[in-house]
């Protein structure tokens, strides 16, 4: 009997824990996004304000008897909101295309180096180290700044360049130039690689332009002033005719106007950590997996043994890193 009671107590405790977890998950989904949190608070303030206007209109003299003026103002504001949203989305979409181009360029470099290396494992491994490092360096550079020791494969580096993506792209080009000087590749093949390497820095510069060129502050301010004036004036026009129904009408209008402005503010900076920003970590992982797949096309045992014997000591950490990511034991 005691055992049954203990089992019942345990099952009830588990059900309470599951309920708490579900409530916590629901709360996280409702309040996890900064846009949703700010929008909910704004709608609450709008609802309280509209109720106060309706009460004042029902007890005092009618101040506004037609909604025509509000309709004209809402139309002009709607045009401005469309322009604002489109300009913010264009920035987000351009950043997305740039990172898609980075993925393609990295794969093209890896394919051509693999074809031009003439089965020399160390050449491919040198480029693999740098091609994996570049997107991670660019990601951190666009967010909060990057140090070379934070980049995979460079944890033991002694240098501290101010512009880490530029430093890595420079190393990629120097490796390609060394191949041409050692007659591993000819001038035409170097030119083919140079086009892809140059594109890496073009992508970096375009991303920096998006990050360093925000939407004009004056434009954002006048649009927000227009939204505030429209929301504050709309209840006075609608309350004489719709009374308490003014509350859901104004809240619906405020939901779209404030929501669009908050979304535009969030996506116009596409390199952040928010839910609406680009998933840069996923893009970096995709590039990394593509490079490692190319490395794995070689015979695993002979490739890693020959590379570990001939590769410079200061770069052996990336060999272990690629072994780990490829699922190959370090004893190979």
Q: Any residues with CB less than 8 A from the CB of 269 and at least 6 apart, and which? A: 91, 211, 214, 277
pLDDT at position 43 = 67
Nearest in space to 230 (alpha carbons), one of 207, 265, 260, 273: 260
pLDDT at position 219 = 79
Model-level pTM? 0.71
Inter-residue contact 328 to 300 (CB < 8 Å)? yes
Inter-residue contact 142 to 302 (CB < 8 Å)? no
Distance CA 287, CA 244 (A): 56
pLDDT at position 50 = 67
| Span 60-78, pLDDT tens digits | 545 544 555 556 567 777 7
pLDDT at 14 over 50: no
Residue 96 token pair: 């997305």
The residue ranking higher by pLDDT, 163 or 29, is 163
pLDDT at position 236 = 75
pLDDT at 1 over 90: no
| Span 284-313, pLDDT tens digits | 999 998 888 887 775 444 344 334 333 443
Nearest in space to 126 (alpha carbons), one of 325, 291, 329, 327: 291
The residue ranking higher by pLDDT, 79 or 171, is 171
| Span 213-228, pLDDT tens digits | 888 787 788 888 888 8
pLDDT at position 283 = 95
pLDDT at 51 over 80: no
pLDDT at position 45 = 73
Number of other residues whose CB lies within 10 A of the CB of residue 100:
13
Inter-residue contact 135 to 299 (CB < 8 Å)? no
pLDDT at position 208 = 95
pLDDT tier at 319 (50, 70, 90 boundaries)?
A: low
Domain segments of the chain as ranges:
94-214+278-326
Helices (H), the chain: 2-31, 34-59, 68-116, 121-143, 164-181, 187-212, 217-242, 246-267, 280-296, 300-310, 316-326
The residue ranking higher by pLDDT, 243 or 267, is 267
Mean residue pLDDT across the chain: 75
The residue ranking higher by pLDDT, 13 or 103, is 103
| Span 163-184, pLDDT tens digits | 999 999 999 999 888 888 888 8
| Span 237-265, pLDDT tens digits | 777 777 778 788 888 888 888 888 888 88
Residue 194 token pair: 């140079």
């Amino acid at each position: 009997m005691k055992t049954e009671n203990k089992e019942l107590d345990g099952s009830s405790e588990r059900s309470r824990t599951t309920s708490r977890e579900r409530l916590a998950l629901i709360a996280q989904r409702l309040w996890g996004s900064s846009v949703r949190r700010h929008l909910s608070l704004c709608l609450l303030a709008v609802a309280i304000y509209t109720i106060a206007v309706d009460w004042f209109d029902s007890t005092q003299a009618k101040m506004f008897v037609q909604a025509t003026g509000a309709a004209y103002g809402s139309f002009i504001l709607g045009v401005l909101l469309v322009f604002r949203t489109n300009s913010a989305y264009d920035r987000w979409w351009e950043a997305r295309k740039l990172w898609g181009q980075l993925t393609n360029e990295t794969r093209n470099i890896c394919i051509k180096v693999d074809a031009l290396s003439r089965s020399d494992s160390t050449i491919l491994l040198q480029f693999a180290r740098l091609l994996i490092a570049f997107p991670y360096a660019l990601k951190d550079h666009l967010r909060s700044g990057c140090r070379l020791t934070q980049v995979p494969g460079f944890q033991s580096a002694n240098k501290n360049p101010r512009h880490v993506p530029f430093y890595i792209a420079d190393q990629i080009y120097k490796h390609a130039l060394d191949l041409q000087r050692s007659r591993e590749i000819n001038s035409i093949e170097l030119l083919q690689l140079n086009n892809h390497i140059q594109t890496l820095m073009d992508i970096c510069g375009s991303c920096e332009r998006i990050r360093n060129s925000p939407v004009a502050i004056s434009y954002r301010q006048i649009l927000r002033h227009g939204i505030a004036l429209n929301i504050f004036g709309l209840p006075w026009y609608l309350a004489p005719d719709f009374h308490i129904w003014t509350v859901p009408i104004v809240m619906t209008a405020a939901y779209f106007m404030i929501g669009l402005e908050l979304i535009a503010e969030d996506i116009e900076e596409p390199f952040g950590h928010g839910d609406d920003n680009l998933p840069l970590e996923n893009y970096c992982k995709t590039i990394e997996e593509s490079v490692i797949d190319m490395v794995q096309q070689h015979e695993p045992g002979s490739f890693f043994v020959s590379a570990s014997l001939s590769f410079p000591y200061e770069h052996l950490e990336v060999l272990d890193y690629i072994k780990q990511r490829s699922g190959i034991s370090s004893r190979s």
